[in-house]
Amino acid sequence: MKRLAVFDLDGTLHHTEFALAPAIARAASDITGEAEPPYSLVNSLYGEPLEVFCKVLAGSDEPAVCKRFFESVQFHQAVTLPTKGKLYPGVKQMLCDLQALGFDLAILSNAHMDYIVLVTETLGIVDNFTMLTGRTDEASKTARLFEMSRGYDFTVMVGDRYHDIQAGLENTLPVIACSYGYGTDSEYQGAIRVDSVKKIVPVIEEMITR
Render pLDDT for 88-140 as a digit per residue (tens, 0 to 9): 999 999 999 999 999 999 999 988 899 999 999 999 999 999 999 998 777 88
Residue 210: what pLDDT?
81
Among the candidates 64, 84, 104, a domain finishes at: 84
Residues 137 and 167 in one domain: yes
Residue 158 pLDDT greater than 80, yes or no: yes
Residue 49: what pLDDT?
80
Residues 43 and 64 in one domain: yes
Residues 31 and 60 in one domain: yes
91: nearest Cα among 208, 153, 7 = 7
Residues 100 and 117 in one domain: yes
Among the candidates 30, 62, 84, a domain finishes at: 84
Residues 115 and 187 in one domain: yes
Per-residue confidence band for 47, with pLDDT thresholds at 50, 70 and 90: confident
Q: How many domains would you assign to the chain?
A: 2
Residue 120: what pLDDT?
97
pTM of the model: 0.89
Residues 122 and 187 in one domain: yes
Residues 67 and 136 in one domain: no
**Cα gap 162→178, rounded to integer Å:** 11
**130-147 burial by CB neighbour count: b if 16+ within 10 A, else e?**
eebbbbeeeeebeebbbe
Among the candidates 84, 116, 137, a domain finishes at: 84
Residues 52 and 147 in one domain: no
Of 41-55, 71-85, 107-121, the poorest mean pLDDT is in 41-55
Query: Domain of 71?
Result: 20-84
Residue 154 pLDDT greater than 80, yes or no: yes
Residue 55: what pLDDT?
94
Give the domain CATH number at 32: 1.10.150
**Cα gap 25→200, rounded to integer Å:** 31
Helices (H) and strands (E) in the chain, counts: 9, 6
Residue 135: what pLDDT?
82
Residue 61: what pLDDT?
87
Residues 72 and 90 in one domain: no
